[in-house]
Amino acid sequence: MERRRAPHAAIAHLAQLRQRPPAVMVPRIGLALGGGFARGIAHAGVLKIFERHGIPLHCITGVSAGSIVAAAYASGAGPEDITRAASSMRIRDVARWSLCRMGFMGSERMKRFLEGLLKKHRFEDMRIPLGVVATDLCTGEAVAFRDKGDVVLPIRASCSYPGLFQPVRSGDRLLVDGAMSVEIPALLARELGATHVISVCLPAPPCRRPPANVFQVVRRSADPFRLPRLYVGNWPGDVFAAQLDEWLKQ
């Protein structure tokens, strides 16, 4: 008799489970930071907003200047530390002029700068998951670095704007600026486990006067290819930086 009742008890238990309200899923927020040369210091302001509202980040990703800020924050540096380091940085701190067929400047000096800014120097030691994207110069493909290994070389590669900086060799690849292949690394944030991604883009201001030096010429040469795509939702981010204040008020 007991054996006959067992199936009915099991069915009743399953019915009770179905009637229970589903558990509330805590969102895992990822922050994806784009490039922007010196404008990258603005990323620290976004991090300040998160800390002010007590919003934890599940992971952080970056390309170009965004990769420096992302790595610094993931390693344990605070927004104020990042702002202070970025404000005092000079081009001689991260690069040196070099006569080379592959670029005007080498980025070997960036290693010392990053070692002073970052609290940790390997992906596996970061306090939150970190992703950095560079670009394969030969194929144009995005090359993602994450999970384990040295952080400094991927950042150097992701910041090596082609023509200005010499490419960085990693294995059999020649790597250049990550923004050449991925403007906002939101997909990488999702791969690191984020359920919601906030994308931060730092477009250049309108060119009101002709470029005055080689840095401005190189920077402006890429902007026409990026600007038409900045606000059309190409990146799979749930919220953009321009919407951040409204999103936080909800």
Q: In angstroms, what CA-CA distances link 36 with 49, 60, 202, 224? A: 20, 17, 6, 14
Comparing CA positions, the residue from 114, 48, 119, 109 lying closest to residue 83 is 48
Catalytic residue among 107, 136, 160, 177: 177
Residue 185 in tokens: 């690394």
- The H or E element containing residue 79 is helix 79-88
Q: Name the phi and psi angles at 181, rounded to 5.
A: -115, -30
Q: How many Å apart are CA 163 and CA 200, to the nearest integer? A: 25
Q: Strand 173-176 and strand 168-170: pairing?
A: antiparallel
Residue 177 annotated among the catalytic residues of the structure: yes
Q: Which of the residues are catalytic?
A: 64, 177
